[in-house]
Amino acid sequence: MPREKKLQAPQQKEPGQEAAAILCEKMNKKAGKRADQTPRSFRCKVNDLFRAFSLNTASAVGSAWAFIIAITVVVVWAATGAMFHFSDTWQLIINTGTTIVTFLMVFVIQNTQNRDGKAIQLKLDELIRALKGARNKLVDLEDLSDEELKKLEKEFRRLHTRSQETDTHIGKTDSQR
């Protein structure tokens, strides 16, 4: 079985290369773990690549620098309007560019949202299972129908109201002492 080739992290760490060095280290760790496992299917590899791409892209695009770059592109585009006589082609450039970027970002954002949602659900499920007295039927709440969720919501509203009444009653009792 051929040995996994290690990625080389950049030697000099300039501001932009620091993140690349961290990414190389993470990828090398994952590659080392996978070397001992059975071969993965093509679909799994593609999913892993897209997940890594989505996380990195979402992180980069969600930064202040990405916003500054986007504002700069729009300002430069607007400033060149007079030079191109505000032509249809000039307008088509920004429309096409923003449409393509928006279309692609929908998939990136959806992927990161799906992963975040799953991770949060798993963490909440673990907390429900670990808490003594918690109802384990709430673990798979996301699989319930809309009607079942509405019933539970009403039940929790009722419990909340009852809890507030109890807290108010206790507060009055404490203040009378």
**pLDDT of 65 higher than 90:** yes
**pLDDT of 31 higher than 50:** yes
Number of domains present in the structure of the chain? 1
**Position 101 in a domain:** no
- In whole angstroms, give the CA distance from residue 32 to residue 118: 26
**Position 169 in a domain:** yes
Range of the domain at 170: 144-177
Higher pLDDT, 168 or 80: 80
How high is the pLDDT of residue 98? 95
How high is the pLDDT of residue 3? 47
**CA of residue 159 relative to chain centroid, distance:** 32
**Position 166 in a domain:** yes
- Closest residue by Cα to residue 153 from 144, 168, 120: 144
**pLDDT of 106 higher than 90:** yes
Task: Using pLDDT thresholds of 50, 70 and 90, give the confidence band for residue 78.
Answer: very high
Tell me the Ramachandran region of residue 87: left when phi exceeds 0, alpha when psi lies from -120 to 50, beta otherwise: beta
The structure's pTM equals: 0.55
**Position 86 in a domain:** no
**pLDDT of 174 higher than 80:** no
- As to burial, measured by CB atoms within 10 angstroms (0-12 exposed, 13-18 middle, 19+ buried), residue 9 is middle
**Position 158 in a domain:** yes
**pLDDT of 93 higher than 60:** yes
Task: Name the least confident of 2-11, 102-111, 120-129.
Answer: 2-11
- In whole angstroms, give the CA distance from residue 76 to residue 97: 14
**Position 95 in a domain:** no
How high is the pLDDT of residue 32? 57
Under 8 Å between Cβ of 67 and 58 = no
**Position 77 in a domain:** no
**Position 174 in a domain:** yes
